[in-house]
Structure 1
Amino acid sequence: MTPSERRVTGALSAIYILRMLGLFLLLPVLALYVEHLPGSTPLLVGLAVGTYGLTQAVFGIPFGNASDRFGRKPVITAGLMLFAIGSVVAALAQTASGMVLGRALQGAGAVAAPIMALLADLLRPEQRSKGMAAIGISIGGAYLVSLPLGPVLAAGIGVPGIFWLIAALALVMVALLWWQVPTPVAARQVQAPAGQFRAALSDPHLLRLDFSILALHALMTGMFVILPPLLRDQLDLPLGQHLWLYLPTVVLSIVVMVPLIVYAERRARLKPVFVAMVALLGVAVLMLLGVGHAVWGVALALLTFLIAFNVLEATLPSMMSRLAPMAGRGTAMGLYSTSQFLGAFLGGAGAGWLRGHHGTEGVLWAGLALCAVWLLVSTGLRAPAHLQTRLIEVGRLSPDRARQLTDELMRIGGVAEAVVIPEEGVAYLRVDGRTFEATSVERFSAAPA
């Protein structure tokens, strides 16, 4: 990356991580706070935790389309201001329903798609995967930092104070956007080929991944509807001491997660590791059912849950990018993102309703059933091929010549997929590094030697 590209990637990743911190910081503390608001019910507690996922899913595509029409930075600014307004509404909420409204407004500022699009506009094609990876890392980092930090902030400034802090961070994000991120000369307009949406909905392997991310975030959100009250009520652990449970389990989960991901990627063992982690989530739920009456049991169950969650959160996007066709990857990732946010909503609302009618054990049994269904679904998943992505500069081409070049590239040994983008003058290849010879495509390159 050039210095300019690194600055853009760093600034947009910072904006993303600050926004995700604003959502994740509340996970370990919000359920306990909403329980004491007037009008609170278990369902409203669950909605307060997860309703941001519903509005984020609903407004994600409209915000992306608006950024194509009105520009990336103005739309991102509008989304961040809506996020700030939602934070203020939540900070001032005097009832449980008011809190749900504030959280819904937070999620309605759905700036994920415009941020990704802005990053793609400002990076060269061959650097975009690095930029997307940086944002992906920022999401995982925000989640892991939030678990121990949320209880500390709640004990110090209270949950309303966290919302005020989040609102202030949103304004910082707006300033960072306009001061550190240049405005692209023209937004990159790429229309999905006709039928890509239908293709993504009919591909059984992509649907398995969509279900997987929905189930993962449903389990995660549901966990934090029941875990904070369980720690307080059944284990007599006050909120200020939750840090000492979350911090060591987060650190240990990272220590275990990294070698598992390295093994899965380098040894081309993504599917076996993936299936094993789904089973491990079920083990974590079983542990809560069996030994959730003791602090050590909850700590062990949480560690098991976080190891599986972190590995799955990191490997699912990798599997999606490998199984989705390059020409339809944007559509596939859009459905994947929508499934993720819907999972957060369903997990929060479902756990709240179940807790109100069947108690904590009812939530855990439902979670175990979800893990069992997910395990059955994941066993039918195709193992992703261990392919590499190559980019060739082919120069500006007519549409007819681009189609002809695609056919020629596909006849080269080791090329599994080829997509030529004539308006950008580039061709993307997915190749098997064991059989592909780089010299075989040199004659198609328009780049200077």
Structure 2
Amino acid sequence: MRANFSSDQKRTIATLSVAIAIRMLGIFLVLPIFTLYGEQFTSSKPLIGLALGSYGLANALLQIPFGWLSDRFGRKPLLIIGLILHGVGSILAAVPPNIYALIAARLIQGTGAVSSVAFAMVADSVDEKNRATAMAFLGISIGLSFVGGILAGPMIASLSGYASLFWLSGLLSLLASIYVAVAIKEPPRERRTADVSGDRPSVASVFKIPGIIKLGVCGFLMSFFMSSFFFYFPLLARRHLPLQSYYLLLGPMVLAAAVVMFGASRAADRGWAKSMGVMAFVVLAISGWLLFRGADLGLQDHPLLVLTIAGVFFFAGYTSLEPILPSLITKASPKTMYGTALGTYSSLQFLGSFAGGAAAGFLSTLGTEFVMAALLVAAASGIILMSQVKTA
């Protein structure tokens, strides 16, 4: 059955997709060049890794509070506040006098923890049977930010310097906060006796729901895999292509991601979310193996082909999980605590981003085989957890 949305629902989904796309540029736009930017301030790889990961760490710490506050006071005010914080942190990250100031700026940048609020607003606005498709639009906006950031970041940096990426991210984020303020309506939410009495479910109650915790850990593993994978992917690609030419490598991946994203969301709407989630982690495992051991297939003379195949598999797995996991979270949680449940999920997801970047930086001192092992363990753990998720 085709998903049908009202004009208000379309406006809400479109506005949130734009806001989240801009928000996620804070990670993706600088991902291919952040290490090079950090080297302008220090030669310490651990400090550079901390600066890279601090964005995700701040997000992890604040997603639950933002989700909880949005359950209490509404989604729209928290979205605007988060976008402003992100914008201010981005601008500060463009002008740091030293690596410690860069770390502090990235922490501020990460305090705009609005992902859970945006997904909760979609859950408020759309009925359950169309929710996975609506989530897919937010997921595809994240995917486009991911691809657009990876593609555009190196080209923009080569033309106007690394700091320009942070200036751009800050400006767009502040513009997005104005757009949200004028273009979106606070959706009606169900008010129950618990709302009136003040006996709303607490944050602690989320951790008593096994399904939410398992899905949250899957989000952690997905983001861990993404950060670790893309810590190395640009470094490997740089051996064969200049940064300005990455689009030649990433083009096929973009096409694959778009097809797989919508296919996964439609499959989830038909009740196949669990199977799709398991398959997505299997695909991620294949991509991790190909990234480091693709030459074992006899393609050592075609390294760009191996990287392209690995990237296509990665994008297919990653963009499948993006709409599926939040949709399953909303199905596993009571309607009065969507924001809190999605905040828990997003916290674990961003914690995975922090852990993946930090782990890749540390393991790089030991050898690439250790990074590959970490990727395979993360994917295998995701397969096990997804296979245990109960769906209604």
**TM-score, normalised with respect to structure 2:** 0.82
Matches within 5 A, 1:122-201: 129=131, 134-181=137-184, 191=195, 197-201=203-207
For 2:43, what is the secondary structure of its paired residue? coil
What residue in structure 2 maps to residue 214 of structure 1? 220
Relative to structure 1, is the Cα distance of residues 337 and 193 closer, same or farther in structure 2, using a 3 angstrom cutoff? farther
Counterpart CA distance in 2 for 1:278 and 1:329 is 25
Note the alpha carbon deviations across 1:201-243, whole angstroms, 9 max, x for none: 23333322111110000110112222222222xx242211222
Compare 8-17 and 61-70 and name the one that shifted more.
Answer: 61-70
**Are positions 1:30 and 2:34 aligned together?**
yes
Displacement of 1:93 in angstroms is 2.7
Q: Give runs of aligned pairs for residues 51-90 of structure 1, distance below 5 A.
A: 51-64=54-67, 75-90=78-93
CA distance in 2, matches of 1:115, 1:378: 24
Q: What residue is the counterpart of 1:430 in the other structure?
A: none
User: CA deviation digits over 1:296-342, x for unaligned, max 9?
Assistant: 21211111111111112222122223333445544332211211111
Q: Where does 1:18-417 land on structure 2 (aligned, <5 Å)?
A: 18-34=22-38, 36-64=39-67, 75-113=78-116, 115=118, 129=131, 134-181=137-184, 191=195, 197-232=203-238, 235-263=239-267, 265-266=269-270, 268-291=271-294, 294-326=303-335, 328-355=337-364, 357-382=365-390, 384-385=391-392
Percent identity, please: 33
**Structure 1 residues 19-48: Cα deviation after superposition (integer angstroms, max 9, x where no partner):** 2223322223323432x3232333233333
RMSD after superposition: 3.4
Deviation at 1:132, TM superposition (A): 5.7
Q: Distance in 2 between matches of 1:10 and 1:158?
A: 31
C-alpha displacement of 1:50: 2.5
Residue 19 of structure 1 aligns with an amino acid whose one-letter code is R
Kindly state the Cα deviation for residue 176 of structure 1 after the two structures are TM-superposed.
Answer: 1.7
Deviation per residue, 1:91-125 (Å, 9 max, x gap)? 1135443332222111012234555667788x598
Aligned-partner Cα distance in 2 for 1:377–1:117: 23
* RCO comparison, higher one (Cα < 8 Å, 6+): 2
Partner of 1:416: none
Gaps of 5+ in 1: 386-449
Write 1 or 2 for the structure with the bigger share of helix.
2
- Structure holding more strand per residue: 1
Q: Does structure 1 conserve the Cα–Cα contact (< 8 Å) formed by 2:139 and 2:319?
A: no
Counterpart position of 1:415: none
Which secondary structure state, in structure 2, belongs to the residue aligned with residue 28 of structure 1?
Answer: coil
Task: Tell me how far 1:172 sits from its aligned partner.
Answer: 1.3
Q: Which amino acid aligns with 2:222?
A: L
Give the residue type in structure 2 aligned to 1:309: Y
Cα 1:83–1:3 shift into 2, 3 Å: same
Structure 1 residues 132 and 371: CA distance shift in structure 2, 3 A: closer
- Cα displacement (A) at 1:278: 1.1
Instruction: Tell me by how many angstroms 1:252 deviates.
Output: 2.5
Q: Match for 1:378: what amino acid?
A: M
In structure 1, give the amino acid aligned to 2:381. Answer: V
C-alpha distance after superposition, 1:345-396 (max 9, x if no partner): 11111211222x31333222221222223333333333x23xxxxxxxxxxx
Closer, same or farther: CA 90–361 of 1 in aligned 2, 3 Å: farther
Give the direction of change, closer, same or farther, for the CA distance of 1:124–1:285 in structure 2 (3 Å limit).
Answer: closer
Equivalent pair of 1:40/1:96 in contact (CA under 8 Å): no
TM superposition shift of 1:282:
1.2
Q: Does the 8 A contact of 1:31 with 1:224 survive in 2?
A: no
Amino acid at match of 1:336: Y
| Distance across 2 between alignment mates of 1:295 and 1:156 | 25
| Alpha-carbon contact 1:17-1:142 (below 8 Å) kept | yes
Q: Cα 1:211–1:109, aligned 2, differ >3 Å: closer, same or farther?
A: same
Which residue type is aligned with residue 84 of structure 2?
A: M
Structure 2 residue runs of 5 or longer lacking an equivalent are none
Paired with 2:339 and 2:275, the residues of 1 have a C-alpha distance of 26
* Rg (Cα) greater in structure: 1
